[in-house]
Structure 1
């Protein structure tokens, strides 16, 4: 465990050092950062613009476990935030909600976020729901949306296999999801995949945008009765993503914080080591910041 921790720390340190040296050289005038907060909640900064993605801001154990899922007897979130919630939202310019499941858009976020903050949703239905919760500047994200000098591209995906979506009740509860590609001059193109399994849509985004940074939800969450058929990506999908985008840095998130995740950071770290992906896959701890 100590070896894995040290290797991970050294790899992250190299990213920090490389990013700092590049900025200091004058070759890059703006910064780019990805900060893992907890679960699927991350902050992405492009220069002067910071986005908060999928905020789940409740205290540890605030909600019952998700019914009919793996370890549903546990209460969510399984761990606390790595910093006060007020610090999480400090300095953000906009919020992106990829879908409105509780572990991506929770009651605490709805209370704590300023009601006038620009907020992007995946479709009219989600936008209307969020407006009904008191938010006044809710926008539907479309391909080529511009905000704060950053181009945002909505991407597709599916929150589970076709087998799960063939069950009407599951199809309704899993619903629609989106990912987002971020582009800006002088920045590394970043692809936030969202809660999707490996799909043609994901492969097409990788081929079209050739992202240099990929934020991948890798907890392999499962619903009861469909063991081995996760509703988001897992360790094998991390390898598959690397094979499709071998020059990209993959930042693995959405682990260790909600009950139905079957893949932990430690297990993914073992797999990354076994497959020789250490130079390509980062597994940040909650609160950890990766700079480019």
Structure 2
């Protein structure tokens, strides 16, 4: 298995001849609105362009997997991503909750069956969803919480794509029970002008990595204006916590062998 980090939460999981694009935000730098209005910067998004490797990597893609896409969550599926999926007509795998929304936008949707929190057939293996908590309190009530995915394929490490979530008891229990070989977690510490973190930040990622026994891949970094955590900061925290050998923080465009 290989994982290519494109930008933010957008990555490609390479499993044999299948290349699964996750949460495509494909906009050029600055094409999308700011997510912080009171910080004195009002940076437009994304704050960086896609890496030069993106064109070749996207040319390999055979399927797409969506964790969440409604309520304006353009950092996981933006208009450019929708247009690309509409033009290519690649199969788009998603929850039943998102299926109608995506079908109305002309995408080739292949929803998971109802009862999708249980293992379902996924190519030669299985997939199941894990509920995300994309923030709590007032902000949490406004968010689209979505899901993460546990993917199990023959001859490959179990892969947990956490989706946009803070570190909740549900996530802790799931990881403790299943101990995936590879976990991809959102690490940017995103927050709006009000309220707390809506995804994991440095402390949550360290706690998650200590809890997990496998490799942890951190993304959702240095691409969106409401994510303050940097790669340098996260790597330094990993060294202090003694987990740096299991914590990977890929650059945009980098492909990891896992």
Residue 49 (structure 1) shift: 1.9
The secondary structure found in structure 1 opposite 2:90 is coil
* Matches of 1:263 and 1:198, distance apart in 2: 16
* Larger gyration radius, structure 1 or structure 2: 1
Indicate the residue corresponding to 2:6 in structure 1. 37
Q: Following superposition of structure 1 onto structure 2, how do residues 1-292 of structure 1 map, counting pairs within 5 Å?
A: 32-66=1-35, 73-83=42-52, 85-100=54-69, 101-113=73-85, 114=87, 116-124=89-97, 126-140=98-112, 142=116, 143-161=118-136, 164=137, 167=138, 170-226=139-195, 229-245=196-212, 247-292=213-258
Counterpart CA distance in 2 for 1:87 and 1:153 is 29
Q: Deviation digits for residues 134-156 of structure 1, max 9, x if unmatched?
A: 11333136232323323111111
- Cα pair 1:71 1:260 within 8 Å, conserved: no
Report the CA distance shift for 1:282/1:171 in structure 2 as closer, same or farther (over 3 A).
Answer: closer
Matches of 1:212 and 1:206 in 2, distance apart?
Answer: 10
Which whole-Å CA distance do the structure 2 matches of 1:198 and 1:39 have between them? 18
Residue equivalent to 1:17: none
CA deviations on 1:156-209 (whole Å, 9 max, x unpaired) are 120012xx2xx2xx3453122110011111111111111000112211221222
CA offset digits 1:95-124 (Å, max 9, x no partner): 111111100000001111245321122332
Shift of 1:224: 1.3
CA shift in 2, pair 1:233/1:87, >3 Å: same
- Distance apart, 1:240 and its partner CA: 1.0
The CA RMSD over aligned residues, in Å, is 1.9
Which secondary structure state, in structure 2, belongs to the residue aligned with residue 187 of structure 1? coil
Asked if the contact 1:46/1:150 (under 8 Å) is kept, the reply is: no
Q: TM-score, normalised by structure 2?
A: 0.90
TM-score by length of structure 1 reads 0.80
Task: Name whichever structure is richer in helix by fraction.
Answer: 1
Alpha carbons of structure 1 residues 50 and 232: separation in structure 2 relative to 1, 3 Å: same
**Aligned partners of 2:181 and 2:38: how far apart in 1?**
34
Q: In the comparison of the two structures, how many residue pairs are matched?
A: 251
Hey, what's the Cα distance between the residues in 1 that align with 2:176 and 2:184?
Answer: 16
**Take 2:15 and 2:81, find their aligned partners in 1: how far apart are those partners?**
22
* Comparing 150-159 and 140-149, the one that deviates more: 140-149
Residue aligned with 1:137, SS = strand
Q: Distance in 2 between matches of 1:176 and 1:123?
A: 14
